[in-house]
Amino acid sequence: MSEILCAVEGQIAILTLSNPGKLNAIDVAMWQALGAHFDRLSDDENLRCIILNGANGNFAAGADIEEFATVRNTLASGMHYHNHTIAQALQAIARCRHPVIAAIEGVCVGGGLEIACACDIRIAAPTSRFGIPINRLGFPLAPGELQDLLALAGVAVTLEILLEGRVFEAAEAKDKGLIQRIADDVPAEALATAKRIARGAPLAARMNKQMIRRLRFSRAALNEEEMKSAFGFLESADYHEGISSFLAKRAPQFTGK
């Protein structure tokens, strides 16, 4: 049975893509559940970081093509599938207030790579494989799903990935800017990264994510309200705790307030 597994360990949540026998291909129910999980976890004030991985040694082998005959067989259904079903899941990951780590092993292609691109940090095993080979299936990448890939890889690499439809390994993915780190033990490295994030000020992490997203999608200068919000940390408990703990040479105790 396909599902999105969720486990919370203290301040860290772990979401797992699971579709046994299909390399965790993502069906409609999984896209919907993925978006719902991220919306719910984003509202959890106790969390500091989310790890997203795949079950049984693979991240995800893209969308479940077996469903296309029913969920993407007309212009209307295809537009709804991409602009609503998939878009809501990817947007929920990208707008999540907490930092999101993609822990990638095995196959990470098609929709799996789209999911990884929506995360903040991507850590991959040396033998993991990447690509979007949909040219073999006769269709291009949907406009909304191009955004994160284009932002990470740039025009030239995005064109190369889509026009060739080639599947490549982690070293090349890192060269192309798709992942930040390669690790022999991905689960351990992802957890260590999440713990480092969790030790930091959650308010600062959330504000960094919010401001980077704002500047990425709009070149307009910050208005007065946005500028005040950007410096609102000066009135936060976390800021005063960070400064006072540094001066007192003790570990900070951040609350996210």
CATH of the domain at 47: 3.90.226.10
pLDDT of residue 109: 98
Question: Can you give the pTM of this predicted structure?
Answer: 0.93
State yes or no: pLDDT of 127 exceeds 90: yes
Tokens for 18? 């699971």
Residues 99 and 178 in one domain: yes
DSSP state of 200: S
b/e 30-68 (16+ beta carbons within 10 angstroms → b): bbbbbbebbbebbeeeebbbbbbbbbeebbbbbbbeebe
Q: Which residues pair with 188 in a beta bridge?
A: none
Return the pLDDT at 104.
98
In a domain, 255, yes or no: no
Q: Same structural domain for residues 174 and 238?
A: no
DSSP H helices, the chain, are 28-42, 68-71, 75-80, 87-95, 111-118, 143-164, 170-175, 186-199, 202-217, 224-230, 237-247
The answer on 224 and 126 residing in a single domain is: no
- The answer for 103, left when phi > 0, alpha when psi is -120 to 50, beta otherwise, is beta
Dihedral sign (CA 153, 156, 162, 165): negative
Mean pLDDT in the chain? 94
pLDDT at 40 over 90: yes
Same domain, 144 and 224: no
Token representation of residue 132: 């979007």
Q: Is-contact 32 89, C-beta < 8 A? A: yes
Phi and psi at 50, nearest 5°, equal -125, 135
Q: Does residue 161 sit within a domain?
A: yes
6-to-122, 171, 192 alpha-carbon distances in Å: 19, 30, 19
State the residue range of the domain holding 194. Answer: 3-198
Phi, psi of 116, deg, nearest 5: -60, -40
Same domain for 205 and 193: no
- Do 205 and 194 lie in a common domain? no
CA-nearest of 179, 183, 186, 166 to 57 is: 186
In a domain, 252, yes or no: no
Domains: count for the chain: 2
Which range, of 47-61, 63-77, 202-216, averages the lowest pLDDT? 202-216
Q: Are residues 127 and 243 in the same domain?
A: no
Shared domain check, 165 and 122: yes
> Could you tell me what percent of the chain has a pLDDT over 70?
100
Q: What is the pLDDT of residues 97-114, one digit of tens each?
A: 999 999 999 999 999 999
Integer Cα distance of 112 and 62 in angstroms: 5
Task: Give yes or no: residues 177 and 211 share one domain.
Answer: no
- The answer to whether residue 94 sits within a structural domain is yes
Residues 209 and 166 in one domain: no
Whether residue 144 is found in the same domain as residue 242: no
What is the predicted pLDDT for the residue at 55? Answer: 98
pLDDT at position 195 is: 97
Q: Assess whether 53 and 97 both reside in one domain.
A: yes
| Residue 257 binned pLDDT confidence (cut-offs 50, 70, 90) | confident
- Place 34 in a pLDDT band, splitting at 50, 70 and 90: very high
For residue 22, tell me if it sits in a domain.
Answer: yes
Residues present in the chain in total: 257
| Helix axes 87-95 and 143-164, enclosed angle (nearest 10) | 100
Indicate whether 131 belongs to any domain. yes
User: How sure is the predictor about 213, in pLDDT bands with cuts at 50, 70 and 90?
Assistant: confident
Confidence of residue 180 (pLDDT cuts 50, 70, 90): very high
Mean pLDDT (whole number) for 22-41: 97
Using CA atoms, how far apart are residues 93 and 100, in angstroms rounded to an integer? 8
253 lies in some domain = no
For the CA atoms of 155, 156, 158, 160, the dihedral, rounded to the nearest 10 degrees, stands at 160
Evaluate whether residue 160 is within a structural domain.
Answer: yes
